[in-house]
A = this chain, B = another copy of it.
Amino acid sequence: MSSAAQPPEAARARRPTLDAVAARAGVGRGTVSRVINGSPKVSAHSRAAVEQAIAELGYVPNRAARSLVTRRTDSVALVVPESETRLFSEPYFSAIIRGVSSGLSGAGMQLLLVLVRDESERARLATYLTEQRVDGVLMVAVHRDDTLPDLLDELAIPTVLAGRRGHPEPLGHVRADNGGGARAAVRHLLEGDRRTIATITGPLDMDVARARLDGYREALQTAGITVDEELIAVGDFTEEGGRAAMRELLRRRPHLDAVFAASDVTASGAVLELRAAGRRVPDDVAVIGFDDSIVARHTDPPLTSVRQPIEEMGRTMARLLLEEIAQRGKGHREVVLPTELVVRKSA
């Protein structure tokens, strides 16, 4: 058991192999392999002998060897643009990881986390992913012009995206009902008798941002209100972007009485800017964010926000990917999860 007594320079103690187990159990390699892989065609007697030998030797199968012959790695990659780990306010990043991890762990799959720093690294990434290191790929924050998903499609590597690039989206993906969330937010503002409702969007090359903007438009139209394009400002999901957009909106339409922001961080920037301009929130201007992140609970006033079931999205992504790996091309390729309006003080 203890290799601690060995001199530090010694090679790491070599672990027992399948052969060793077979020898100790007095059976052949094939039988040991069958026991390990749960084959039913093993006598109770042999099975017991093998299991005891495994326990005595502390045998653990070598993944590389198995992987070499089965051509599976039992691991999947989660690809995240590095910039997103900064931008995404909590709990997005960790919640996705938690969901993915929990969806995977039951299947004995390992999670390879790949942060992509910049374009030059994308090329290297493509190499990694073809190195037969992973059985499938999960991607978050895919942009409309992202080419990596196409490459994965072409290489026939099972892939599931968080969100879609456009529609139709040929690859499997999971997304929140962004449009529905946006509609609920705007409806809530209308019910609070707000009439001049502005919106600060995310980058419009991302489908989430577009879908939230569309929801905003639809809710207004449903209420019989003509959309005033001057009430729409493009942001980038950051606080600073939110401030800039808010300044611009105030300049264009000083008398607006509500803002629907495409993220909490953006909303918090908007709140700061509104206050700087002497407006009270929510008395003069109501504000609603998106994500229900930790920021929403800690701003002043706490933000009303649209919550996405992020952890469940991660779990669902994992499930879709496992299905796709198990049986190429089967399973439904698109899942939309519901959003929920969390009402706090800002609207």
Chain A residues packing against B (C-beta within 8 Å): 2-4, 8-9, 12-13, 15, 60-65, 67-68, 71, 73, 75, 78, 82, 85-86, 88-91, 93-95, 97-98, 101-102, 105, 110-115, 117, 121, 127-128, 130-133, 153-156, 268, 294-295, 298-300, 328-329
Choice from B68, B295, B300 contacting A65 with Cβ under 8 Å = B68
A153→B8 CA distance, assembly (Å): 12
7 A-B pairs with CB atoms under 8 Å apart are: A4-B156, A60-B131, A62-B131, A64-B73, A89-B90, A105-B117, A110-B128
A13→B71 CA distance, assembly (Å): 11
A68→B127 CA distance, assembly (Å): 20
Q: Are B130 and A101 in contact (CB under 8 A)?
A: no
Q: Are B328 and A8 in contact (CB under 8 A)?
A: yes
Contacts of A131 in B (CB 8 A): 60-63
User: Which residue of B is nearest A130, CB measured?
Assistant: B60
Contacts of A2 in B (CB 8 A): 154
A117→B102 CA distance, assembly (Å): 9
Contacts of A60 in B (CB 8 A): 127, 130-132
Give chain B nearest CB distance to A90 CB in angstroms. 4
